Amino acid sequence: MSVAQLPEVIVPNPAFRSQVEEISGERVSDCFQCEKCTNGCPLVFAMDIVPHQIIRSVHLGLKDAVLNSHTIWVCVSCETCTTRCPNNIDIAHVMDSLRQISQREGVKPAQPNIPLFHKIFLASVKRFGRVHEGEMATTYMLKAGGIEELWGMADMEMDMVKTGGLKELLGMAGIGLDMYRKGKLQLLPHFPNRQVKKIFRATETKGK
């Protein structure tokens, strides 16, 4: 993955920093670039803008560079950066806030399958009260592989069916069977949880 090129001439714009601080509740401006977050991040190898650069870019108002980066989607919120920060900035929460801003403003994610996974995960929780791994994995594999588009084609051939999401799904079947035998997967979903549904309704109302 190539390293993102930041602008050579930067004119600071505090509007984006203020937006991030308001949504996250974190004082991004407290960062003095010690780089402890970057040095401790286990996924820095997969990032185009490393964590301390993301925070600095937010501080400078480089909104496009931040929201179009791979980093905000690659981050798995392990909170190593948050734990290491000497100024008590919850950097993992800042990353989550950046993802929220990206989705709200319709920015095309640099890693489209990651927000897709989040969406399918939450839909499963909303439907059953907790995630049903089998249903979630099946839905994700099919949608991520584009197999739905193949099914919609009238002249679809059998060799096409074996590619994309369906191929990946069949490849995972053995692992799923082993997990079921060990009691790690439930064959049937749980009954819907009223409290969970109430939480979803409350958040949906708040978001409007």
Q: Which of the two residues, 7 and 86, has the higher pLDDT score? A: 86
Q: Are 60 and 23 part of one and the same domain?
A: yes
What are the residues whose beta carbons fall under 8 Å from the beta carbon of 165, sequence distance 6 or more? 141, 142, 143, 144, 145, 146, 147, 148
Reported as a single tens digit per residue, the pLDDT across 87-124 is 999 999 999 999 999 999 999 998 888 888 888 888 88
In contact, 53 and 3? CB cutoff 8 Å = no
In contact, 166 and 172? CB cutoff 8 Å = no
What are the residues whose beta carbons fall under 8 Å from the beta carbon of 69, sequence distance 6 or more? 4, 47, 48, 49, 54, 110
pLDDT value of residue 176: 65
Which of 3, 4, 5, 23 is CA-nearest to residue 15? 23
Instruction: Find the mean pLDDT for residues 164-178.
Output: 62
In contact, 79 and 96? CB cutoff 8 Å = no
In a domain, 19, yes or no: yes
Identify the three-state secondary structure at position 190.
coil
Which of 56, 96, 90 is CA-nearest to residue 76? 96
Reported as a single tens digit per residue, the pLDDT across 22-45 is 999 999 999 999 999 999 999 999
149 pLDDT tier (thresholds 50, 70, 90): very low
Instruction: Find the mean pLDDT for residues 13-23.
Output: 93
The helix-helix angle for 14-24 and 91-104 (nearest 10°) equals 110
Residue 117: which domain range?
113-207
In contact, 168 and 145? CB cutoff 8 Å = yes
Q: Are 179 and 122 part of one and the same domain?
A: yes
Q: What is the 3-state secondary structure (H, E, C) of 89-139?
A: CCHHHHHHHHHHHHHHCCCCCCCCHHHHHHHHHHHHHHHHCCCCHHHHHHH
In a domain, 8, yes or no: no
* Single residue among 82, 104, 126 that ends a domain in this structure: 104
pLDDT value of residue 156: 33
In a domain, 9, yes or no: no
2 pLDDT tier (thresholds 50, 70, 90): low
66 pLDDT tier (thresholds 50, 70, 90): very high
Q: Are 153 and 192 part of one and the same domain?
A: yes
Average pLDDT value for the chain: 80
